[in-house]
């Protein structure tokens, strides 16, 4: 693990996302971009101290890909292209925590 706690990763995502909304989004003059960013960030505060593995899994494997797909669909070059790099460190930390805590399933349960 890279030493970043799960809570730290969410705090970094929230801080970076709010900075992007404040500093970068206005340059693109896109209400849809603001909506996409807000949709991505709105559950993050409740995940910071949450111990429910399924919620973290849902964020990483459902909400995060939907966010990226929405940005790609919007097609704002210079914004959507930078997002995966912007969140690379906290997203990698979340993945490491998910992989470390993922309940083992038998073949019958999968």
pTM confidence score: 0.87
| Residue located via tokens 């500093």 | 23
Q: Which of 109, 71, 103, 91 is nearest to 16 (CA)?
A: 91
pLDDT in tens, 28-83: 888 999 999 999 999 999 999 999 999 999 999 999 999 999 999 999 888 888 99
Asked if the model's pLDDT at residue 108 lies above 90, the reply is no
Give helix 64-74 / helix 31-41 axis angle, nearest 10°. 170
pLDDT in tens, 81-96: 899 999 999 999 999 9
Q: Please report the pLDDT score of residue 99 as a whole number.
A: 92
């Amino acid at each position: 693990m890279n030493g970043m706690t799960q809570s730290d990763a969410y705090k970094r995502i929230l801080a970076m996302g709010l900075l992007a909304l404040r500093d970068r989004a206005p340059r693109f003059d896109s209400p849809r971009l603001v909506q996409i960013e807000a949709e991505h960030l709105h559950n993050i505060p409740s995940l910071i101290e949450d111990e429910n593995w399924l919620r973290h899994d849902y964020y990483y494997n459902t909400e995060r890909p939907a966010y990226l797909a929405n940005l790609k669909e919007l097609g704002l070059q210079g914004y959507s292209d930078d997002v995966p790099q912007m969140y690379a460190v906290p997203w990698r930390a979340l993945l490491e925590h998910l992989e470390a805590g993922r309940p083992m399933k038998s073949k019958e349960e999968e």
